[in-house]
């Protein structure tokens, strides 16, 4: 039996690379993409999806204050990738680990369980004849994961439940309390 990265590489040869973006605070997959090549432009697609979904558009500084954790792989360190996230107002936060093997490892250490779940329950148990099959399957799995997967580190709540709670907190008006002098 090979190592896990061998399984990633073998699967990638059969179908192609897939990339995902995971919200560190909720464990939610906010974007996903599959393509024949895993280049820097393909790596941007899940980021754009997440920005469009949660910030309402893809325009200059729309995601100001957001930090993107990524590895030191050439796709993420490329000028095109860095210029695009900078345009969106996203701060680049490269991790201090060597680039991961395969295209599936993204985000902070705390996002690793989400990525591992994706690998163990989707990538390693299915094969795809075409990139389109992989893309559709990945989209379906992400929807299922976000809506139904109970995550222990979030009190056995789903990523969608955590996101809804975060939105509710963000919409609470601040209390008009006098400041201490």
pLDDT in tens, 57-68: 999 999 998 888
pLDDT at 148: 94
2-49 per-position pLDDT tens digit? 334 444 545 444 456 778 888 888 888 899 999 888 888 999 999 999
Structure pTM?
0.72
In this structure, what is the dihedral angle of CA atoms 46, 158, 171, 23, given to the nearest 10 degrees? -30
In this model, does residue 79 exceed pLDDT 80? yes
The residue with greater pLDDT, 105 or 23, is 23
Q: DSSP secondary structure string, 108-128?
A: -GGGHHHHHHHIIIIITT---
Class of domain 4-152: alpha beta
Most confident range, picked from 84-93, 102-111, 167-176: 84-93
Other C-beta atoms lying within 10 Å of the C-beta of residue 21: 24
Query: Domains of the chain: which residue ranges?
Result: 4-152
Q: How confident is the model at residue 179 (pLDDT cuts 50, 70, 90)?
A: low
The residue assigned the tokens 């309390």 is 177
Is the CB of residue 89 less than 8 Å from the CB of residue 66?
Answer: yes
85-96 per-position pLDDT tens digit? 999 999 998 876
3-state secondary structure of 168: helix
């Amino acid at each position: 039996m090979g190592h896990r990265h061998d399984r990633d590489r073998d699967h990638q040869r059969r179908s192609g690379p897939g990339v995902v973006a995971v919200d560190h605070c909720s464990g939610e997959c906010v974007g996903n993409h599959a393509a024949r090549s895993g280049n820097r432009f393909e790596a941007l697609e899940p980021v754009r999806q997440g920005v469009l979904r949660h910030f309402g558009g893809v325009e200059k500084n729309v995601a100001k204050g957001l930090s993107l954790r990524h590895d030191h792989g050439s796709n993420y360190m490329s000028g095109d990738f860095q210029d695009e996230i900078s345009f969106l107002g996203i701060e680049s936060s490269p991790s201090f680990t060597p680039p991961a093997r395969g295209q599936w490892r993204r985000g902070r250490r705390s996002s690793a369980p989400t990525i591992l779940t994706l690998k163990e329950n989707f990538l390693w148990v299915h094969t795809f004849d075409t990139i389109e099959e992989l893309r559709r399957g990945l989209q379906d799995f992400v929807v299922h994961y976000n809506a139904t997967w109970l995550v222990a580190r979030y009190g056995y709540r789903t990523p969608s439940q955590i996101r809804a709670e975060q939105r509710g907190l963000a919409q609470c008006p601040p209390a008009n309390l006098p400041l201490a002098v």
